[in-house]
A and B are shown apart, each in its own frame.
Chain A
């Protein structure tokens, strides 16, 4: 027989009270990605060539650089929120799950930072 009170057994095992934030951010980033991703795909299709000069000229446009940065940031954010749920669903065991979640977060942060850095470098004319 356990000596723990019924209240003590359930305290702290409820929700973390952060689900709404996750849900809402997933929707906000989804809404933002509808125009951003359509713009991105349409731009790539109309680029014509993927040689260095063409791509640099395209990425040097202020609006292109701005939208590309927004696209990478919002996509990385949306991806992180989504992959997080997949990990939470399928990776069991506290240690494995924690390590995977932290790795996923770090990887997405790296992807977002690298994308922003690359676009800015090209847009400011620093690509060799």
Chain B
């Protein structure tokens, strides 16, 4: 097969923050794929019974794993908001440079707000739990 142009010509682009919002969408996507793996592992443990779930819970509740959950919540919020931005783009709206630069900031602001909201709810739930 003849050599063809390969997609990410990372080095030829001038750096702009819109580039960061774009690659973050992909990073968070891959992180969430790992999150899905964790979710299914947990579901299988629940299906395996109380004993199996307790064994999985020991693995799933370490301090390092809690950092993973925090990262997953951040990734979820970012990917959700950035994904909605993509769906809006798909309708042909918001593609002008100024609009895209504005929506990049909006995505960052909204995903930080949503992360804080979920973090607060999780903290409340944790405080209520015995």
A31 close to B43 (CB less than 8 A): no
B129 touches which one: A49, A59, A118 (CB < 8 A)?
A49
How many residues in A have their beta carbons less than 8 Å from beta carbons of B?
Answer: 45
- Indicate the member of A27, A72, A92, A118 with the most B CB atoms within 10 Å: A118
User: Does B71 make an interface contact (CB < 8 A)?
Assistant: no
Q: Is the CB of B46 within 8 A of A59?
A: yes
Chain A interface mostly: helix
Q: Is B78 close to A, CB under 8 A?
A: no
**Does B50 lie within 8 Å of A79, measured CB to CB?**
no
Q: Report chain A residues within 8 Å CB of B51.
A: 128
Cβ–Cβ contact B125 & A45, under 8 A: yes
Which A residues between 83 and 128 are near B, CB-CB below 8 angstroms? 83, 86, 88-90, 92, 94, 111, 114-115, 117-119, 121-122, 126-128
* Stretch in B14-22, B84-92, B93-101, B103-111 touching the partner: B84-92
A53, B118: Cα distance in complex, Å = 24
B12-40: which have CB < 8 Å to A?
26, 29-30, 32-33, 36-37, 39-40
Nearest-Cβ distance from residue A71 to partner chain B, whole angstroms: 9
Q: Is B59 an interface residue (CB 8 A)?
A: no
B64 within 8 A of A: no
What is B's interface to A at a CB cutoff of 8 Å? 1-2, 4, 6-8, 26, 29-30, 32-33, 36-37, 39-40, 43-44, 46-51, 53-54, 57, 76, 80, 83-84, 86-87, 90, 118, 121-122, 125, 128-130
Nearest 7 pairs between A and B by C-beta?
A128-B49, A118-B43, A118-B47, A52-B50, A121-B47, A79-B33, A115-B40
Taking beta carbons and an 8 Å cutoff, which residues of A are in contact with B? Answer: 9, 13, 27, 30-31, 33-34, 37-38, 41, 45-50, 52-53, 55-56, 59, 68, 72, 75-76, 79, 82-83, 86, 88-90, 92, 94, 111, 114-115, 117-119, 121-122, 126-128
